[in-house]
Amino acid sequence: MTTMTMTADEIKAQLLATAKAMISDGLVEGTAGNLSARLPDGNVVLTPSSLPYETMTIDDLVVTDIDGNVLAGERSPTTEKDLHLSCLRKHDDIHAVMHCHAMFATMFAITHQPIPCVIEEVDVYIGGDVPVATYKMTGSRELGDEVSEWVGDRAAVLMANHGLLTVGKDPADCLKLAQLVERTAQIVWGARLLGDLVPLPESTKKKMAPIYKLMRGM
């Protein structure tokens, strides 16, 4: 099931459940991080600004149009709304966006190092290396413009000195991708203590590359 087949209420419920899982899984702490999803009418539901996930309810979520004008909700949308809306505006095949501060992925982000695609499943589900977007100020439109350029052909990007962003079919998909990136970042970090990384064979990459493109278009 994706946001293309779910009702607005189902999308909101999944987004809320994913937000709660994001903190329980240790991908964020406090009120950091944020989520969004495209609704059937073309509008967007986002997590609110500075509200604990543990007590967040459906009524706390905020609906905006694709340009960020609030249409429903009593709270302000996440201060990172431009980050989400830029990705959704630029790519019709993206239906949800998740930003988190996963620890190992963020270690790569603050050292401006891509997470290399040395595991087959990263090629299949992410589309290749997880690159590092150029640093832009948190919450700025410039950050949204910068990051949205990187997710046209892959499902994840690191934001320099900031954290991780994943895009997918729905909020639950974004969470799974973030978990995969975080696990891979930890594996790579540990593998480098043992020795040099051995890249995937080019023949394997050529076989895997079309799979991500096919899955993303489904």
Residues 65-82: tens digit of each pLDDT = 999 999 999 999 999 999
By residue range, what is the domain housing residue 187? 8-217
In a domain, 204, yes or no: yes
Q: Where are the alpha helices (DSSP H) in 79-168?
A: 81-90, 103-110, 120-125, 141-148
Total tally of structural domains belonging to the chain: 1
- The fraction of the chain above a pLDDT of 90, given in percent, is 92
In a domain, 3, yes or no: no
Q: Are 63 and 36 in contact (CB under 8 A)?
A: no
Per-position b or e across 117-135, b if 16+ CB within 10 A of its CB: bbbeebbbbbbbebebbee
Mean pLDDT of 89-111: 97
Report the 10 Å Cβ neighbour count for 137.
9
Q: What is the pLDDT of residue 31?
A: 94
In a domain, 165, yes or no: yes
Considering the entire predicted model, what is its pTM? 0.95
What average pLDDT does the chain have?
Answer: 95
Query: Distance between CA 141 and CA 103 in Å, rounded?
Result: 25
In a domain, 2, yes or no: no
Q: What is the pLDDT of residue 209?
A: 83
Q: Give 208's pLDDT tier (boundaries 50, 70, 90).
A: confident
Per-residue pLDDT at 64 exceeds 90: yes
Per-residue pLDDT at 3 exceeds 80: no
Which residue reads 């930890």 in tokens?
186
What end-to-end distance do the CA atoms of the chain give, in Å? 11
Indicate which CATH number applies to the domain containing 83.
3.40.225.10
Two structure tokens written together for 131: 């690159």
In a domain, 74, yes or no: yes
In a domain, 177, yes or no: yes
Mean pLDDT of 103-111: 98
pLDDT in tens, 118-173: 999 999 999 999 999 999 999 999 999 999 999 999 999 999 999 999 999 999 99
Q: Are 126 and 156 in contact (CB under 8 A)?
A: yes
Q: What is the pLDDT of residue 2?
A: 66
Element (DSSP H or E) covering residue 209: helix 202-217
Q: What is the pLDDT of residue 1?
A: 57
In a domain, 1, yes or no: no
Mean pLDDT of 173-199: 97
Q: What is the pLDDT of residue 215?
A: 87
Mean pLDDT of 31-47: 97
In a domain, 213, yes or no: yes
